[in-house]
Every structure is written in structure tokens, then in C-alpha cells.
Amino acid sequence: MFPQLAPLARTTTRLHPRAGSPTPYDSSIGGPLLWPSSQPWPYCDKWHEGPVSPMVPVAQLYVRDVPELPKPGRADLLQVLWCPSEHPPFYKPTTKLAWRTAADVTDILDTPPTPADPQYGYLPTPCVISPEQVTEYPNFLELSEQLREQVNDWSTWRAAGIAMDDDYEEPQEYYSDELSEAPGWKVGGWPPWGLTDPAPRFCINCGTVMAPLLTIASEESRDYRRGWLPTEDQGIAVIDDDPVHNPPGIQVSKSNHLQFYLCRTCSNHTTLIQ
């Protein structure tokens, strides 16, 4: 229907976290990490009045489950940790990313240290993931003016025989809710926007526009975005904080998103953006 939109398609892996009992050998949200006992566990030393605080596992993603992940060197595993609280001045958790080659880790750290007082919403409930590859398109506001006009023209949709829910007053709402960016935890694809209008994220090292790496979400779905709900969840009412709505129980940055961006030029350079 919109030829100019086709080249903007990106593949995303939605993670679809589900409460479970992941092992260090599984991809997981909030599960045990394949962390070598010979390597020090990461601690956060920023903004704590008391002693430094151990970080907690947020995500562990094997490339075999998430093909969109970059693979620096021999790495086939990405581990994400954070300090489970909001830190001034931007009220984000401090984070750490580790790239690993799973086969190199033979002696696993069994009992990593745990923080004494994690903030509500920042200690993920352990979840396994059910990765699903989907196609995404840019946020409506990221489209050119010409493309925005085309997408928001009823006649094109009618000509293609697309039946839209009566709740949608304009096609751009349908595009935004059901077709552009998927909600929830995901790797790659197009970023969600909400608190701000879209803006490119430049690498502070080389100036290249960076690509979304990982989106950490405070919700998996919304009633008005049912098109993105997995088929098996379609009959379930979506209620705040229920196991379908938000299995990891994360409430980050005032129930928003936390996004990591990666510079493909510098390859090992990652930036955290809310």
C-alpha cells in the first residue's frame, strides 16, 4: 500500500517474558546469569549513602534465541545488569552490559551477592522468554511529511480493503497502535517514543546514528493494542500488573521504557536512553 514504507521495515525480536524458572543456560529476564566465578560481580558505587550495592541480573540473551543481537568477536551471549534503584540526576538505574562466549564459562558463580534494599519495580521477577520475530515500522512522527500524509489518507486503506476498528478516528492511530512499533521487551527494530518526540541518537564516539539494541518495558500490552497480543493471550483481559500485562513486574522510569542503543561502527559502544 505504501511503497516508501517498505524499505523502512526492520526485524525485531519480541522477548515475550513469561514467569518461570530459567537456568544460567537459558535466555531470561531476571534469571541467573552464566557468570564466571573468576570474575568480580558488578557493584554500583553511585549515589548510595551506605555501602556500594551489588547489581542484579536484568536480562540474559543468547544469540541462538535472539538473532538480532550483534555478535562482537566470538560473543554469543549478552548479559544486562542494573543497580535496582533510580539514581539522580536522571533517575535511571546504573547499568552494566557484558558480552560473553558461553563456552568459555566453565565455572559458574553460584550465589551472586544480592542488594539489601531494591526499589519497587526494579527487581525483575524471573522469567523465561518466548522469542518471536516481527516486522516493525517507524513511529508515525519519524516518517517524512509525504509519507505521513499517505498513511493518514483513508482512501488508500479503503482501496486496499482494510477494515479498521471504529474506535480509530484517523488511520494514523491504527498505524501507531497496531502496525508500527511493537510494545514490550524487544531487541532491535524501531524505538518506542512517548515522553519526547523522536530524535536521532548519535554515538558520542564517532557521531554515527545509533540503532536500538534492547528495549526494557514496563508493560507488554494494552487493551487498545490487542493486535500485538500473542494469539494465546487474546482471550485474557489485560489488567494493570497482571501476569500477562507485565510478567517481570518492572516499572522503570515512571512506567515508561529504558532503551539501550548500540553504535554499529564502534560496535562495542552502547548508550542508555530513557
Cβ contacts of residue 200 below 8 Å, gap of 6+? 209
55 near Zn ion (CB under 5 A): no
| Closest separation in Å from C-beta 109 to Zn ion | 20
The DSSP call for residue 253 is: T
Cβ contacts of residue 66 below 8 Å, gap of 6+? 13, 15, 27, 78, 131, 187
Angle at CA of residue 159, ends 6 and 180, nearest 5°:
35
| Closest separation in Å from C-beta 210 to Zn ion | 7
Q: Which residue lies nearer to Zn ion by CB, 133 or 208?
A: 208
Among 206, 224, 227, 267, binds Zn ion (CB under 5 A): 206
Among 15, 123, 129, 263, binds Zn ion (CB under 5 A): 263
213 near Zn ion (CB under 5 A): no
Among 127, 143, 203, 238, binds Zn ion (CB under 5 A): 203
| Closest separation in Å from C-beta 112 to Zn ion | 16
| Closest separation in Å from C-beta 19 to Zn ion | 26
**Could you count the other beta carbons within 10 Å of the beta carbon of residue 215?**
24
| Closest separation in Å from C-beta 87 to Zn ion | 6
CA pair distance 244, 222, nearest whole angstrom: 10
CA pair distance 102, 23, nearest whole angstrom: 13
Q: Which residues contribute to the site for Zn ion (CB under 5 A)?
A: 44, 83, 203, 205-206, 208, 263, 265-266
